[in-house]
Amino acid sequence: MDLKRFFSLDTNRFLQLFIILSLQERVNSSNILFFGFLGSLSHHIAIHPLAVRLAENGHNVTYFSSVKLKNEEKGITYFYPEKVVDIMSGILSTVGEQSLRGTDAPNVFTSAYHLALMLCQTMYESEDVQTWISKSSFDLLILDAVYSDCALGLAYKFGVPHIAINPTSFFP
């Protein structure tokens, strides 16, 4: 490039170049993993809009869930581990049926620890999850904080910071 010619740009072109460069927005997109593990759809109502907004802002969002969402958003990659979804569907179905019949549903709070451990073990032993982990990389993990200690292993594996969001309130 001829430097003499470059520096002899007329004022109009210089202003155009200056405006274009000064209005250029610096954008850094991140690979963000949302981890909704032991929550029903009510948990996703609180967390999913954040995933949607981040995807709209240009981030690469992956949504890991044990409950299949009816309405998936464009721009988000959804991952539903088959064995974990099967276990969770059976549990939510049982609790829902018992609630509708007016019979006592299992005490979710006392059995949730055992359920979380079972789901975590099933998740990490699942071939589809192991393959997914080996092919994935993330910059940030955002997790549903309710019984999601299992996700901390993913934060360690990917070497990323994590944010825990509590979509529920146990106390009024």
pLDDT of residue 45: 80
* CA dihedral of residues 133, 134, 137, 140 (deg, nearest 10): 30
**Residue 100, pLDDT score:** 47
What would the pLDDT profile of 15-32 be if each residue is shown by its tens digit? 555 555 555 555 466 999
Sign, CA dihedral 36-40-43-48, equals positive
Q: Give the pairing of strands 140-144 and 31-36.
A: parallel
CATH number of the structural domain 30-165: 3.40.50.2000
Top-ranked range on mean pLDDT: pick from 4-13, 70-79, 82-91, 94-103 = 70-79
- Between the alpha carbon of residue 46 and those of residues 86, 93, 120, 123, 154, the distances in Å are 23, 21, 22, 23, 22
- Cβ neighbors of 18 (< 8 A, separation 6 or more) are none
The kind and range of the H/E element at 85 are helix 82-101
**Integer Cα distance of 90 and 108 in angstroms:** 14
Question: What is the full DSSP assignment across 50-76?
Answer: HHHHHHHTT-EEEEEESS--SSPPTTE
Task: Tell which wins on pLDDT, 44 or 96.
Answer: 44
Domain range summary for the chain, segments of one domain joined by +: 30-165
In this prediction, residue 140 carries a pLDDT of 93
pLDDT per residue over 113-164, tens digit each? Answer: 777 788 888 889 999 999 999 999 999 999 887 777 888 899 999 999 999 8
Q: Render pLDDT for 46-92 as a digit per residue (tens, 0 to 9).
A: 888 889 999 999 999 999 988 888 888 889 999 999 888 888 777 66
For position 141, what pLDDT does the model report? 93
